[in-house]
Structures are given as structure tokens and as C-alpha cells.
Structure 1
Amino acid sequence: MACGNAAIGIHDRGRRVRRPRLQRLKGEQRLLQQTPAAPPNSCEPLDTALQNWEQAIALKPDWPEAYYACGNVLVELRRYGDAIASFDKAIALKPDYSPAYNSRGNALQALRRFDEAVETYDNAIAFKADYAAAYSNRGNALQSLNRFEEAIESYGKAIALRPDYCDAYNNRGVSLRRLGRFDEASQDFESAIAVLPDHAGLHNNRGNALVALGRFEDAIESYDTAIALSPHYPDVYDNRGVALKELKRFDEAMESFGKALALKPDYHEAIFNRALLHLLMGRFDIGWRDYEARKNTRENVSNRCWGKPLWLGETDISGKTILVDWEQGFGDVIQMCRYISLLKKAGATVLFLPQKNLRTLMRSLDPDVCIIDHDTVVPEFDLHCSVMSLPFAFKTDIGSIPSASYISADKDKVALWRDRLGRKTKLRVGVVWKGNAFPGNSRSIELERFRRLFNPRLEFISLQKEVTDAERSLLDRAGVLHAGDAFADFSDTAALCVLMDLVISIDTSVAHLAGALGVPVWVLLNWAPDWRWLLDRDDSPWYPSMRLFRQKAQGDWNSVLERVELELEQALHV
């Protein structure tokens, strides 16, 4: 995510909780397990049922159905290893026993042995080609292996066999969403809802897909339906708060996060999402405090275990050695590494562990700061702090942000790039129009639309690291040099940035880099921007050399680009 947007991941849960990638929303995924064979008396406690089946096996040790039933009871008791052993005995007695293979696969999934589970489901299907449940469960295992295309195919076969298969529609929707195919995902959730309209989790999942499509009003309607069906469902209130935030309905969003926390006071995802809203609104005191909740979310953001005390500003660090470690994206680290100088002023010896691509650049921070490589032994230290916790540790408010430029470009690399660019005859403008290619990225602008800025009286240089073939062709036709192919790391990007008269960027790491270097930079922001850009201002307290150009309506890049065009024209006259 560009600039490492700190937001909580869409969570898909079933009988056990499943946690996909870092984003904002929580969802519910029902992982269908083959219904266990009924015990001798279905009203019996599981322990009694198990005992009865074991007695039955003692009386008739060649009865495969008894081993199968015993295995299913063991699954319900979460004794998965014993269950697998029982299913193996059933299969040994009846090698074509498809339900036993299927239930064995479920037990293997519970133990996170997903490759073995897929193989076991394949055996179930080999003996029963029309086994819809095995195809669906196989899809679940493939999804857990991030083999989403294969999972989608497996769910499709289950649905072909059982057109009303709610779980398969829902779980296929989750895989489609993971691939960024949000329209198809939404359709699958709607198909699941048609089969099971009173299931709150399905409406929640549909809401998540609609958020990814930017259909926030429709998403809120889905979440409201889920809440009506299940009023004590904290995930939905949290997701609803995120959708409301995207519509800038901030008071309602805060209320929705509050309802999630009233139902689940230790709901760290909701606390974290609430933090993002507080920070966006400039409420830094409570925002930084709540932001620490990211460390306790299911994604475990910035919660590395170093075996040393965590420092959050409560103790004197004079004479101490502190390790500062990176988290989230490149932009986050570039933005917050400014606090390293405050650690030095407080009398600490600083060890800094940035991402590999930032390592060379970060050596410009301070000659006395020890930049640690990931593949080396970390020297002894007394305390540690994540780089994104430093604003909290220093009790930062808008008026106390350390805002002077704090990174410099390597002089030799600057000279090298100056030679590559040749004699300057026009104002030079570096451009970045897209961030990381994660699904639902509303910060990026299509190059076909962005190209309207390419005024021939200016020299434009692409600072993108990677471009598609189509983008490369468009840049060539527009006479724009693409420099990213020659970037080894961010120290090259920095060297080129300082040779620009202006950088124009969407919200991505290069915007932070230009600001940290003190290079004039115009940042183009979407309607509901990331928290660090605050609201209703065209400057940034984080970067004095930065101007902000905001969308005036959801998805309205045209008005943003029109304003930038006019400003460029004025710059030419100046």
C-alpha cells in the first residue's frame, strides 16, 4: 500500500478465523465442513458419543463407518490428530470411502496442513466425481495456500454440482476479492444472499466488496442489513465506520466505531480505525494513543519481539542504546525517520533498522546513527521502538512536528544523474502517477488521464520505479524520460529528485521523499485521504515544501488535474 496506509485487513472468518492481507475491513467467511455422521444419540455430549463409538468399534473392529463417525466426533472435540488417525482406519477398511477423505481433509486444514488437505480432497473427488462438498472444501484449502485461481475453479465445480451452494458462492467471492475482481466477488456474495438472505456475514462480505468498488452508500446499506440481522456483530460496525469515513461522514463513522467497541472493548482493529480518523481530523493526542492498537490487531502490525523493553517516551534515554525498527511502507519510514534526530538530542545511541531499499538513503540521516542491515547481527541495545511509534513517544502535536528537511541525496549519485540528464533547457518536473498495485487503490491516476499535465514547454521525467509496456509507450510518445529502470534503491530516486524544479506525485513514497529532501512537491490527493494529510488545507505541517491538491468530490481527478495544469502554466510565466 502506498505510504503503508495503516489500516486493518479484510478478515474472512468461519469456524476458524482467516486473516488475509492488510487493509481496512473485516468480513466473515463460512468454511463448510462436511456434516459429521450422527452419533448413536445426537443429543449426547461429545465425550459420551465418542465413548459409544469406541465401544462400537471394539465390538466390530472392521466397521469403517464407525471409524468415520468417531473421527468426526474427534474433529468436534478439536482432537485433529486423533481424528486423522480414525479416518485413516476407515479408509484402510474402505479405500473408496469419499466422505472419510473429505473429513480427513477438514482435519488437516484445522492443523494448517493445507497441501495434504488438497491431496486428500482430490482422493475424495476421484472416488466421487459429483462430490460438491469436497470441491468446496478443496477450494478453502487452496485459498489458504493463496492459490486463488485454483480455489475459484474448485468452488465453481461445487456450484455447478449444487447451484444453491451458499458456502461455495461466499468463499469464491472471498477469493475473487483477494484477486481484486470486486464486481465478480459482489455478484457471488449476492448469489449467496439469495440462498441464505438472513445470514449477516454474507451482507457484511458484500459490503466489503462494495467498499472496494467505491460504492460506499451501497456498502453502508449492506452493513445496515447485517446489523439488523445481527445487532451484536462488532465487525460490521467497524466496517460501516470505515465506509462512512470514506464519505467524510466523520461523526457517524466515529459513532459506528464506538458501537463496535461497546460490543467488544478490546477490539483493537476498531481502536486502530478510530485512531486513523482522529489523526485525520488533527486530534493527535488521542490519535497517537489509539494508533498503538495496531500492534495488537490480528495482522500484528509492528509487534516484533526483540526481547528488550519497549520505549514510548516514558523514561529518560540519555546514555541508552535504542533500536528503531521499520514498519509498514517506505513512505511511512521516510516520514517518521525525522524523529531519529530527536532521539540523538535526548542523549541516546541510535540503531536504525530500515527496509533494504531505504538503507543507503538512511545513511544520510546522521553519521552517528548506526544503520543496521537485515542480514547482520543486531548490536546490543537497551530499548526498542517502532519508527511509527516515535510521534507518540515525543507527544507530537501539529505545532511540534519536526519539519525541517532531514534527508540528503548522495553527491556522487546526483552528479551521475546530472550527467545522464544533460544540459537543462526547461524547468524539470518529476512525476509519479501510481502507487503500489494493490486492489482498490483509489490514490492512483491512470497515465492516460495524467498525461494532460505533460506541457511541452516543460521537461517531464518519470520517477516511477516500474511501468507497464503501455505506459512506457505513452511516455515515449509524450517525450517523457522514464528513469525508474535505472533505480537501484531510493538513494537513486533521491538523487534525481533534487535535480527537479518540481515533483508532482500522488500519495506515495516519492511524495514523502521529495518533502523530506525539501524539494518542491505537489501531492494529488483522493477525496478521503490518508490520515497524515489532514483535512481542508493545501499545505502540510510535515513538509514545508509541499502543496496539496485535493479532490472536490469522490473520484474526481479531472478537477485536480485542471488545477495543477493552471498552476504549471503560472509557473512557466514566473
Structure 2
Amino acid sequence: MNPQVGFLLNKALEALRSSNLDSANLYLEQAIRFQSNNPHALRLLGVVAAQRGKYTEALEHVKKSLKHLPKNPLALSNLGNIYLALKQYQNALEAFDQSIKLDPSYYEVWTNKGNVLHELELYEDALICHDKSISLQPGYPEAWTNKGNSLYELGRYELAIEHHNNALTLKPDYYQAWTNKAIALFELGLYEEAIEHCDKALLLNPEYSEAEWSKCLPLLLQGDFQRGLPLYESRWRSGKITAPQDKRSFDKPTWFGAESLQGKTILLYGEQGLGDYIQFCRYAKLVSDLGARVILEVPPALKSLLANLEGVSQFVTKDDPLPEFDYQCPLLSLPLAFKTSIETIPNVVPYLKQEQISDKLQEWTHRLGIQTKPRVGLVWSGNPRHKNDRNRSLLLSEMVPHLPDRFEYISLQKEVRAVDQATLEANPQILNFAADIHDFSDTAALIRGLDLVISVDTSVAHLSGALGKKTWMLLPYVPDWRWMLERADSPWYPSMTLYRQSAKGNWGEVLKKIHSDLIEMNQ
């Protein structure tokens, strides 16, 4: 190797170790001028590009490096990491396997492979890879915290914390591990400790959005909107709950409450799930009350339901050409824009009015027939793709024994999982209209004909609350932030009662309380 190239590569490595990407890139570009096909310089250029989030450029550099030095386990590992960042998991696995075949003792690539398996939700397989990495190099902190993350997904939170502690013992300034440990503490209900750990991470790296996000959740859950809502904006950077591509790219500024909207036009648009949309579309009227003309972008599934939402001047769907507007704001940023506190939550219900579904009411009244018993709607599971589904959903078979027969039960599930279908068929007393529910206006009209809705945390619960219907919500031990802690009511929905797990995974106690309250309701 050209001595000058070797010198520049060493300087680039020193710069990379101190996270000085600009200097590293400068040294590498100089090395390339001396030797344009040097595989080590090309590989490191890929590493720099990847650390800057320029994954297409990184891919090009690393592939060029491998063209000149195809049996380089380091480059193959780098290639796998780039594919992992691009969510091309099968390509990543192939690259890591090739690297391992060339050098089975390469401990870093084992935990990298574990990270791919983690993303594929093959957590037990991921643990095997992380353990292999740790056995090869017990002093590698990344393997310990990566294993902790997989243990977390398996619900083994205490053991996850032990592994994050091992990582922090090895590397006390490991801000990612401080955050990972905070996430596990949060799931155990240790909210103040979780906040403290996020603060340590942010002290080490004030720009670390994952720590901001992980801090905002316990703050909001405890009702600290003043500190929590500004941090909630980190959702766009962390990608934890709202995909970055969901944040629309407009040439108009985002409105956060500072500018006057008198005589202005603003576009409001949704993000996350349909339940979030139903909950936060209430803010459209507040925006309109400031003198703005409100354009609301609605999902097709909610278009007919929201057709007459108060405060909205014009409705569009995502694929429609957008009219001219002066400002824009995602719906879940409106609580921050209005400096919402628990006391100032706009909670006048119903804000979804009967006239919005009047054409469906008669149809569903006829379909339900003559009422002979109090009618109760049931929702026992949500979207199976939701990250927290394992905690917030339950089986219909768990619920059925706690439903007294003095009521008429109606399933409000649009989709029934295979595991629940047999239970539903074996219990004909639970009426199932899934085939007749075409959109949320059908669900709303059906809810109007009920006396009570019992639901886990899903969009149907939000719909029922927005309609002002009496609603009993079943919540996991660590609920979503909007339901807060240690209260049976919701400041978002006055007609809602919250039933909380007292221990993680314990639905039995919640369902016994539901049973006794149903009996009392029909005395």
C-alpha cells in the first residue's frame, strides 16, 4: 500500500473514533486521489456516508470496496448494517452470514445479525446471536444492550435491565444504553427512574431524539403536559411512533401557536392511527375560532363520519390536489400549539354529531331489531400490527365468562382474528355484524343504538367517546400516555370510565370488575 494512503487511512480512523466525520471524509477523499480503487478507503467512505444517513451513497462505496476485495468480513458487515438501516433485512442477513463464514470469531457481526433478527421479530433467534457475540468478547457493550433490547421485546424487563447495566458498566457514556434501560424501566412502571435515565442520555448527547421520545412518554403519562408535549415533537426524528415519511413536506410553515391565524388558511392533517385522528380532530374548532379557514385532510375510512365536523371549511383526502393555504399542522401537534394542560383539554362531547351519520341510523336500527335487553358493544382486540398489541389486546375467550346473560352483546370488531373466530361462533349471543360494517360511519351508527361500549384501547373506543356514548375502557398496566395514571375517568372523554390492570398482563381482575359493574348497572 502507498505509505501516504496508509497514513491517511490511519488519520481517517482516528477521526471516526472521535466522531469527526468531516475530517474523516477529508482524509479519505485525499486517499482516493492517491489510489482510486483502494478498498479500505472506499469501505470507510461508506461508513462515513452511513453515519451521515446517506445510505444510498454508503451502499455504492461499500459495494465498490467489495468489488476490489470481495472476501473482506469488515466490508460485508458494513454492507449488512447499511441494508439493516434501509430495512432490507434479507439482504442484511445474507451479508452478515457471508461475513461470519469468512471470520466466525468476528464478534461484532454476530450482534449485528442479532439486530436484523430482532427487527424481523425473531427475538429468540436474536438472543442466540447476541450470546455468541458476548461469548466471543464479553467486553463488547453493544452486544449486551442489543441483547437487552431483545429481552425487552420478550417481556423480560428485569433481565433486560441487567443486560443494559452490564453495557453501562463497560461504557458509562453509552447514551443509547441509558435510553434502552429507561424504556425497560418505563414498562415496569418506574417512571421517575425512566426520566432520570433519559436525562443522563441527553446529558451525554443533547441531540439524541430516542431519549427525548422516551422521556416524553412518562412525563405525559403523569400529566406533565408542559414538559412532555414539546418533547413529543421528537416522534418525527425518532421514528418510534410516527414514520418520518408521514411528516408532510410543505413550503408553508408549521403553525405552533405563535402566529395570528386571523384571515389565514391552515391545513390540518393526520398521522399515526385512526383513533389518534378521531381524538385530535376536536382541535379543528379551536383553530377555526382563532379566525382561520380550516382545511382538514381526512383518511378515506373517516371521510363520511367527519363530513360535518365543526370548524372545518373544506375536506380533502391525501390524494386530492391541495388548495392554497398559509400554514399547516399535524393534528397531534395541536395540543402543543394550544399549550394544552389537563384542565384545558377541549372535552365537549359529542363532537361527532348525530347528523353526520343520520343516513345510517335508520339502517342500523332496523338491523338491530326490537330491543329487549340493554345492549353492550364489545371490542377485545385492536390492530395486530400495533407495537403494543400484546399488552393492550385480549382473547374473546377471556372476556366471555365475565359477561352476564342479562344483556344483549354486539361485536364491534371489524376484523376477528382466527384465534377468536371459534369463540365467536360458539357464542351466538354475541351478535356479529362485521360483514355489514363498511366504514366508521357504520360503526358510529351501530354505537348510537347501544347502551354501553366495552373496549380495549382501539379506535372504536375513541369513536364511542367522541360520540358521547357511555364507554368502559380496558387498559394495560402501562397504558398509552393519553389515559394517564391512577384515575378512573378520562379528561378527554367525559363519558368514559377506565378499568386498569393492577399488575402487568392481569386481565382477570379487570374483567371481574367489569362483570360486577354490569350486574350493578342492570339492577
If the length of structure 2 is used for normalisation, what is the TM-score?
0.84
Change beyond 3 A, Cα 1:526–1:80: closer
Change beyond 3 A, Cα 1:45–1:486: same
Q: Is the 8 A contact 1:310 1:384 kept in 2?
A: yes
Among 266, 286, 292, the residue aligned to 2:233: 292
Among 213, 219, 228, the residue aligned to 2:169: 228
| Equivalent residue runs for 1:41-440 within 5 Å | 43-46=6-9, 70-78=38-46, 110-112=57-59, 143=84, 146=87, 148=89, 152=93, 163-297=104-238, 300=244, 303-366=247-310, 368-405=312-349, 406-408=351-353, 409-438=356-385, 439=387
Q: Is the 8 A contact 1:308 1:384 kept in 2?
A: yes
Structure 1 position 491, deviation (Å): 1.9
Q: Is the 8 A contact 1:301 1:327 kept in 2?
A: no
Q: Write the deviation string for residues 214-240 of structure 1: whole angstroms up to 9, x where unpaired.
A: 221111111111111111121111221
Q: Which runs of 5+ in 1 are unaligned?
A: 1-37, 58-66, 82-106
Change beyond 3 A, Cα 1:453–1:413: farther
Larger deviation: 39-48 or 561-570? 39-48
Cross-structure match for 2:397? 448
Structure 1 position 74, deviation (Å): 3.0
Larger deviation: 295-304 or 479-488? 295-304
Structure 1 position 433, deviation (Å): 1.6
The SS at the match of 1:45 is helix
Q: Matches of 2:6 and 2:505 in 1, distance apart?
A: 56
How many positions carry a matched residue from both structures? 494
Change beyond 3 A, Cα 1:79–1:209: closer
The SS at the match of 2:252 is coil
Q: Which runs of 5+ in 2 are unaligned?
A: 10-25
Q: Is the 8 A contact 2:296 2:314 kept in 1?
A: yes
The SS at the match of 2:392 is coil
> Which residue identity lines up with residue 326 of structure 2 in the other structure?
D
Q: Matches of 1:376 and 1:424 in 2, distance apart?
A: 43
Structure 1 position 511, deviation (Å): 1.1
> Which residue identity lines up with residue 386 of structure 1 in the other structure?
P
Q: Is the 8 A contact 2:168 2:174 kept in 1?
A: yes
Change beyond 3 A, Cα 1:484–1:167: farther
Larger deviation: 279-288 or 439-448? 439-448
Q: Is the 8 A contact 2:285 2:311 kept in 1?
A: no
Cross-structure match for 2:489? 539
Structure 1 position 155, deviation (Å): 5.1
Q: Is the 8 A contact 1:268 1:293 kept in 2?
A: yes
Cross-structure match for 2:498? 548
Q: Matches of 2:421 and 2:68 in 1, distance apart?
A: 49
The SS at the match of 1:361 is coil
Structure 1 position 120, deviation (Å): 11
Q: Is the 8 A contact 1:210 1:218 kept in 2?
A: yes
Larger deviation: 387-396 or 478-487? 478-487
Structure 1 position 532, deviation (Å): 0.5
Change beyond 3 A, Cα 1:452–1:145: farther
The SS at the match of 2:7 is coil
Structure 1 position 484, deviation (Å): 2.9
Q: Write the deviation string for residues 325-373 of structure 1: whole angstroms up to 9, x where unpaired.
A: 1122211111111111111222211001132322222213127531111
> Which residue identity lines up with residue 384 of structure 2 in the other structure?
A
Q: Matches of 2:59 and 2:182 in 1, distance apart?
A: 33
Q: Matches of 2:30 and 2:326 in 1, distance apart?
A: 55
Change beyond 3 A, Cα 1:320–1:72: same
Q: Is the 8 A contact 1:294 1:302 kept in 2?
A: no
Q: Matches of 1:264 and 1:145 in 2, distance apart?
A: 24
Structure 1 position 110, deviation (Å): 4.7
The SS at the match of 1:412 is helix
Q: Write the deviation string for residues 518-568 of structure 1: whole angstroms up to 9, x where unpaired.
A: 111111111111110111001001001101011101221111111112212
Among 443, 452, 466, the residue aligned to 1:493: 443
> Which residue identity lines up with residue 482 of structure 1 in the other structure?
N
Q: Is the 8 A contact 1:50 1:74 kept in 2?
A: no
Change beyond 3 A, Cα 1:50–1:135: closer
2:428 corresponds to 1:465:
no
Cross-structure match for 2:19? none
Q: Is the 8 A contact 2:237 2:244 kept in 1?
A: yes
CA RMSD across the alignment: 3.4
Q: Matches of 1:71 and 1:295 in 2, distance apart?
A: 36
2:468 corresponds to 1:505:
no
The SS at the match of 2:262 is coil
Structure 1 position 381, deviation (Å): 1.0
The SS at the match of 1:431 is strand
Change beyond 3 A, Cα 1:396–1:301: farther
Q: Is the 8 A contact 1:41 1:49 kept in 2?
A: no
Among 525, 540, 563, the residue aligned to 2:475: 525
Structure 1 position 410, deviation (Å): 0.8
Structure 1 position 40, deviation (Å): 5.3
Q: Is the 8 A contact 1:80 1:110 kept in 2?
A: no
Q: Matches of 1:371 and 1:322 in 2, distance apart?
A: 12
Q: Is the 8 A contact 2:93 2:116 kept in 1?
A: yes
Q: Is the 8 A contact 1:322 1:348 kept in 2?
A: yes
Q: Write the deviation string for residues 248-285 of structure 1: whole angstroms up to 9, x where unpaired.
A: 21221111111011111222332232222211111122
Q: Is the 8 A contact 1:206 1:219 kept in 2?
A: yes
Larger deviation: 414-423 or 200-209? 414-423
Q: Matches of 2:255 and 2:197 in 1, distance apart?
A: 32
Change beyond 3 A, Cα 1:457–1:120: farther
The SS at the match of 1:224 is helix
Q: Matches of 1:108 and 1:296 in 2, distance apart?
A: 17
Q: Is the 8 A contact 1:466 1:485 kept in 2?
A: no
The SS at the match of 1:407 is coil
Structure 1 position 307, deviation (Å): 1.0
Q: Matches of 2:220 and 2:55 in 1, distance apart?
A: 43
